[in-house]
């Protein structure tokens, strides 16, 4: 589902809209990934959001290739007969030889065609194909690594499919094969080994070895040039996976990564410098009403507040109107995702808020899936108590309203002493007594299987944030993906993000970072780092990111202690903002949505495809080498940044007055004057 934003005069058209130049004649694009119609991680989001732009550019010449997963196909894919004769013949030929190949439409925006290969149906060929892989590439895959075995089956099926398609086509087409990540990389290697007429692109969204090394708490970026990659991969028992990934990177005509951070990583770990950086975007849908996202924020915040009322029943001694909601979400990688530094910063923030007598309360959510038994009984009870109080209040309100109506109907003013009887007071007292609680509100909403060793819970015990009445920072650990059907917190992820005030993602290893990008599109300020692709992208394109609600923690050139202190300063400064200042900042954050739209970022994928065509078919396609071009940066806003932590003298005054002088249209108009158009991707190849 596309994220939505409002269209307003504050939008900064720094990047001219680009709809692509259309697919080259007689060229077919196959995009291959394990996450086609199969949600596993972030690559699913890349493919899903990019599909509409790519389908608009390539039409029926664009086909996604992925694994056949029954549970996903039932809800996401409409199985059909292929409309193209060459595809029909290809599927028929493969199915006749024992394969199970399906064609359909992925039910997302753009409705792209998908070819799904049933890996399990050809498991009988695994040992034979592994032997062939060893003979042709000298890569051995152990029997116990099921994921790598699936990669072997998938890779051989993809190579078979591409070769069969080329053979079944009456007029020889120019084929572009775009492969994502190591799980699909073997198909690329085999295509080159078999000399198939395919222009190949390999996109690494994160290197395997890099993820493993960072998870091991090593000083990754300062030692990137000195790692013995074979030794490190072997010690972590992923050498065969590393070989598949490195072979794909070296065999590809064009190697791309999603950020400059990952590009440096690939150069040192995969031993090849990427040809192009292709940043990840989002499919941004625009509203017709101005500032609609502000209204959505208020509505979603009310939903989150209802949950907080129930979770903290008996200890709701803080003002929800002065409560800020922070959150971190993503894969449960405690150090890689920055949960460790976030918790430490929250402990320091709690101290600062208490010693300075702040009236602000912070509720920090950790949305990270972990192993659980079920919901925590105390958490469920809290929501039940809240509902009971609401029902009691409605019952008394109805009785009060009826008596008031009858009194006014006969022309008398009501006797307030008779409006509520003893039964009503008894009912209300019972409801109040039900809210009494001897223990603190739970930190975790579920029963954890590894409660004693869980990193988040262990750290919370160490820093002593137990949701006590004295704490100005409260913590809620929700170890499960959000769902609108949950009996505990019935909101989906997008609604939850809109209801929060700040997303905090101080990652140590984050090749791109969709979570802060999603916050930006929804007008929610966020914290990122200069070790994430998103953070580097924003630093490159924005003169003063913090003025636009993009706080970037320096985790590359500072020690962990200094980074934690900087994060604490960001969080404390955000807590000092007035409501009006937060509204101004959300307007500025939402203004950056254009930077992250696939309508603008999709051009880099097009450049990669045409570069691959020129390298694979030099007699038919040419391209001019890219030239160094001047950068592009959003200016600082015409008015000054609203964060008191950054600029007390130039910040809007600390006031909640609604008539505070701020004209967004005037500010945006001044900003637009200062924006330089970025260069179009240089050197697009042309057909001979």
Mean pLDDT of 386-393: 84
Q: Which CATH architecture has domain 297-376+442-593?
A: 3-Layer(aba) Sandwich (3.40)
Q: Is the pLDDT of residue 154 over 90?
A: yes
Enter the tokens of residue 144: 């116990």
- What was the pLDDT predicted at 627? 54
Band the pLDDT of 625: cuts 50, 70, 90.
low
Phi and psi for 41 in degrees, rounded to 5? -155, -150
Give the pLDDT score at 503: 97
Among 527, 533, 540, 460, smallest CA distance to 500 is for 527
Looking at residue 209, what is its pLDDT?
A: 95
Kindly calculate the radius of gyration of the chain based on its CA atoms and give it in whole angstroms.
28
Tell me: pLDDT of 120 over 60: yes
Looking at residue 289, its pLDDT comes to 52
Contact in structure between 547 and 640 (CB atoms under 8 Å):
yes
Q: Supply the pLDDT for residue 423.
A: 82
For the chain, what is the largest distance between any 2 Cα atoms, rounded to a whole number of angstroms? 99
The label of the residue with tokens 């390298």 reads 615
Which tens digit of pLDDT belongs to each residue from 554-597?
A: 999 899 999 999 999 999 999 999 999 999 999 899 888 888 99
By CB atoms closer than 10 A (0-12, 13-18, 19+), residue 466 is middle
Q: What is the 3-state secondary structure (H, E, C) of 403-426?
A: HHHHHHHCCCCCCHHHHCCHHHHH
Coil, helix or strand at residue 265: helix
Question: How confident is the model at residue 252, as a pLDDT?
Answer: 98
Q: Comparing 39-53, 360-374, 562-576, which segment has the lowest mean pLDDT?
A: 39-53
pLDDT at 677 over 60: no
Q: How confident is the model at residue 365 (pLDDT cuts 50, 70, 90)?
A: very high
Strands 101-106 and 77-79: antiparallel
pLDDT score at 14: 41
Partners of 400 in beta bridges: none
What is the spatial distance between Cα 589 and Cα 605, in angstroms, rounded to a whole number? 26
Please count the other Cβ atoms lying within 10 Å of the Cβ belonging to residue 325. 24
Average pLDDT, the chain: 87
Measuring CA to CA, which residue among 685, 607, 623, 608 is closest to residue 203?
A: 608
Residue 213 contacts residue 232 (beta carbons within 8 Å): yes
Q: Which residue has the higher pLDDT, 633 or 226?
A: 226
Q: Determine the pLDDT at residue 384.
A: 87
- pLDDT number for residue 642: 46
Question: Which residues, at least 6 apart from 124, have a Cβ–Cβ distance to it below 8 Å?
Answer: none
Give the residue, 541 or 636, on which the prediction is more confident. 541
Q: What percentage of the chain exceeds 70 in pLDDT? A: 87
Q: Is residue 329 scored above 70 in pLDDT?
A: yes
CATH architecture of 27-277: 3-Layer(aba) Sandwich (3.40)
Residue 656: what pLDDT? 43
Of 40, 543, 532, 531, the C-alpha closest to 280 is 532
Select the more confidently predicted residue: 360 or 678. 360
Look up residue 536 and give its two tokens. 């580097």
pLDDT value at position 22? Answer: 64
Over range 154-174, report the average pLDDT: 94
Predicted local confidence at residue 24, as pLDDT: 78
pLDDT(12) > 90: no
In which residue ranges of the chain is CATH 3.40.50.2000 found? 27-277, 297-376+442-593
CA dihedral for 222, 224, 228, 232, sign (positive or negative): positive
- Reported confidence tier of residue 5, pLDDT bands at 50, 70, 90: very low
pLDDT of 63 higher than 70: yes
Catalogue the E-assigned strands of 33-119: 62-67, 77-79, 101-106, 113-117
pLDDT category at 640 given cuts 50, 70, 90 is low
pLDDT tens string 505-514: 999 999 999 9
- Residue 558's H or E segment, with its range, is none
**116 token code pair:** 């799904």
In 130-248 the beta strands, taken as DSSP E runs, fall at 174-180, 198-204
pLDDT at 4: 39
Please enumerate in sequence order all residues whose Cβ is within 8 A of that of 524, keeping only pairs 6 or more positions apart, or say none: 297, 497, 498, 500, 501, 502, 503, 549, 586, 589
Q: End-to-end CA distance of the chain, in Å? A: 40
Task: Please check the confidence at residue 192 and state whether its pLDDT lies above 90.
Answer: yes
Highest mean pLDDT among 200-204, 427-431, 579-583: 200-204
Q: What angle do CA 207, 212, 214 make, to 5 degrees?
A: 95
- Report the pLDDT averaged over residues 367-375: 94
Q: Report pLDDT for 549.
A: 95
**pLDDT tier, 638 (very low <50, low <70, confident <90, very high otherwise):** low
Strand residue runs (E) in 213-275: 254-257
What's the whole-number mean pLDDT along residues 407-433? 82
pLDDT surpasses 90 at 618 = yes
Residues 654, 642: Cα–Cα separation, whole Å: 9
Distance (Å, whole) CA 647 – CA 639 = 12
pLDDT at 389: 84
Q: 3-state class of 345 per DSSP?
A: helix
Structure tokens at 145: 């690594």
- Three-state DSSP at 164 gives helix
Report the run of H or E that residue 324 belongs to, with start and end.
Answer: strand 323-329
Q: Which has more confidence, 610 or 12?
A: 610
- The pLDDT of residue 683 is 43
d(CA 312, CA 468): 10
Paired residues of 363 in beta bridges: 325, 474
Least confident interval from 46-50, 141-145, 264-268, 657-661:
657-661
Element (H, E) at 277: strand 276-277
The span from the CA of 264 to the CA of 282, in Å, is 24
State the helix-helix crossing angle for 181-193 and 126-137, rounded to 10 degrees.
70
Rounded to an integer, what is the distance from CA 225 to the centroid of its chain? 29
Tokens matching residue 544? 């003063």
Identify which has the larger pLDDT, 302 or 682.
Answer: 302
Task: Give CA separation, 73 vs 2, 157, 321, in Å.
Answer: 20, 19, 44
Arithmetic mean of pLDDT, 208-237: 91
């Amino acid at each position: 589902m596309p994220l939505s934003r409002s269209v307003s005069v504050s939008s900064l058209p720094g990047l001219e809209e680009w709809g692509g130049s259309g697919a080259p004649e007689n060229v077919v694009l196959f995009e291959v990934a394990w996450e086609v119609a199969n949600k596993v991680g972030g690559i699913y989001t890349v493919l899903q959001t990019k599909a509409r732009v790519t389908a608009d550019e390539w039409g029926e010449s664009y086909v996604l290739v992925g694994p056949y997963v029954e549970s996903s196909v039932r809800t996401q894919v409409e199985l059909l007969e292929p409309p193209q004769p060459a595809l029909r013949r290809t599927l028929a030929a493969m199915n006749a030889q024992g394969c199970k190949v399906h064609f359909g439409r992925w039910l997302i925006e753009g409705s792209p065609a998908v070819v799904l290969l049933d890996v399990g149906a050809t498991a009988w060929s695994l040992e034979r194909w592994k032997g062939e892989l060893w003979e042709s590439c000298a890569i051995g895959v152990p029997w116990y690594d099921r994921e790598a075995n699936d990669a072997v089956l998938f890779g051989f099926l993809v190579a078979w499919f591409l070769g069969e398609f080329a053979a079944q086509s009456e007029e020889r087409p120019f084929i572009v094969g775009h492969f994502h990540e190591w799980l699909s990389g073997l198909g690329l290697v085999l295509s080159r080994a078999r000399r198939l007429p395919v222009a190949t692109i390999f996109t690494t969204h994160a290197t395997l070895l890099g993820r493993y090394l960072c998870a091991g708490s090593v000083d990754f970026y300062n030692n990137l040039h000195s790692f013995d990659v074979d030794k490190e991969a072997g010690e972590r028992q992923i050498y065969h996976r590393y070989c598949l990934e490195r072979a794909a990177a070296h065999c590809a005509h064009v190697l791309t990564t999603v950020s400059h951070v990952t590009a440096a990583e690939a150069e040192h770990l995969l031993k090849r410098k990427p040809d192009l950086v292709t940043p990840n975007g989002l499919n941004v849908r625009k509203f017709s009403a101005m500032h609609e996202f502000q209204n959505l924020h208020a509505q979603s915040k009310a939903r989150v507040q209802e949950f907080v009322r129930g979770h903290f029943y008996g200890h709701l001694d803080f003002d929800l109107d002065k409560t800020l909601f922070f959150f971190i979400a993503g894969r449960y990688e405690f150090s890689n995702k920055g949960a460790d530094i976030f918790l430490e910063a929250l402990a320091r923030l709690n101290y600062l808020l208490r010693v300075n007598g702040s009236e602000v309360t912070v509720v920090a959510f950790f949305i990270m899936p972990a192993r659980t038994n079920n919901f925590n009984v105390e958490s469920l009870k809290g929501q039940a108590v809240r509902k009971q109080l609401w029902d009691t209040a409605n019952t008394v309100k109805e009785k009060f309203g009826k008596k008031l109506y009858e009194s006014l109907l006969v022309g008398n003013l009501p006797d307030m002493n008779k409006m509520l009887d003893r039964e009503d007071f008894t009912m209300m007292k019972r409801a109040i007594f039900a809210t009494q609680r001897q223990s603190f509100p739970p930190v975790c909403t579920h029963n954890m299987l590894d409660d004693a060793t869980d990193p988040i819970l262990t750290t919370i015990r160490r820093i002593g944030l137990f949701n006590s009445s004295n704490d100005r920072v409260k913590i809620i650990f929700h170890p499960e993906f959000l769902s609108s059907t949950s009996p505990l917190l019935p909101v989906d992820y997008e609604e939850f993000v809109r209801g929060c005030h700040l997303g905090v993602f101080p990652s140590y290893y984050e090749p791109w970072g969709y979570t802060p990008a999603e916050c930006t599109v929804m007008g929610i300020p966020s914290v990122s780092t200069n070790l994430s692709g998103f953070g580097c992208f924003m630093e490159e394109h924005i003169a003063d990111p913090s003025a636009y609600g993009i706080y970037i923690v320096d985790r590359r050139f500072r020690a962990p202690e200094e980074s934690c202190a900087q994060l604490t300063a960001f969080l404390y400064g955000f807590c000092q903002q007035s409501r009006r200042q937060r509204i101004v900042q959300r307007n500025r954050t939402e203004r950056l949505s254009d930077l992250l739209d696939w309508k603008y970022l999709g051009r880099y994928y097009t450049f990669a495809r045409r570069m691959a065509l020129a390298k694979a078919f030099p007699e038919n396609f040419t391209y001019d080498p890219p030239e160094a071009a001047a950068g592009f940066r959003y200016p600082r806003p015409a008015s000054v940044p609203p964060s008191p932590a950054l600029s007390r003298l130039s910040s809007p005054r600390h006031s909640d007055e609604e008539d505070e002088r701020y004209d967004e249209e005037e500010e945006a108009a001044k900003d637009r004057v200062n924006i330089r158009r970025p260069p179009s991707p240089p050197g697009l190849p042309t057909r001979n």
